[in-house]
Chain A
């Protein structure tokens, strides 16, 4: 079985501040982990993914995430928030042989001027 918990359904940061969106997963096998972003009235777009290898993964738009097996976490960060980062962010997990991707409940990021 696999599951994803995103702590904080809403996160607000000031423009220029650090963005930290939390994701913890549960998987009985080594997981593949993904972060997707959804802008208003649009579909989901991949930000980054972890499969194997380097645990610090860099994605688009300056985002990165670190896979920490001991903490079963895959938190998403960005050093400096832009207004354009305001969106819904989803963490997702898929175990090695799992048939499907399991999404977290999402975190709405608000960027304050």
Chain B
């Protein structure tokens, strides 16, 4: 049983399009995250939700909008895609916001914008 799952695994699209990535966790965790990993493998936090409430909103273009319909799901919608959005996007979850809790990562969604 997959703990943190993401769909799709690969996403290839044209500039200007709108796309969504879905994430689900079956661990019963309260906190979920979105990370962006660039071509140099650098990982940067984008957003975090705790019990469906946004708690971290890093400097990310307004074109990116997260949505958490319930504790088990955190989706990422991207409007007007740009070339620079090409990256691997990881969803993660943790039991709660406590600093000592490890995060469990999904397999990633590789987004390619042409």
**Partner among A38, A101, A108 whose Cβ is within 8 Å of the Cβ of B103:** A101
| B: number of interface residues (CB 8 Å) | 21
Distance, CA A106 to CA B106, complexed state (A): 18
The distance from the CB of B6 to the nearest CB of chain A, in whole angstroms, is: 8
**A45 engages B41 (CB within 8 Å):** no
Measured CB to CB, the residues of B under 8 A from A are 4, 40-43, 45, 48, 55-56, 90, 92, 97, 99-100, 102-108
**A44 engages B90 (CB within 8 Å):** yes
Distance, CA A97 to CA B43, complexed state (A): 20
Contact flag A43-B108 (CB < 8 Å), given A90-B43, A100-B45 = yes
**A43 engages B103 (CB within 8 Å):** no
**B105 engages A101 (CB within 8 Å):** no
**A45 engages B105 (CB within 8 Å):** yes
Interface pairs (12), CB distance under 8 Å: A34-B102, A38-B41, A41-B107, A42-B108, A43-B4, A46-B103, A46-B104, A49-B100, A51-B100, A98-B99, A101-B103, A106-B42
**Partner among A44, A97, A103, A108 whose Cβ is within 8 Å of the Cβ of B99:** A97
In residues 30-66 of chain A, which contact B (Cβ within 8 Å)? 32, 34, 36, 38, 41-46, 49, 51
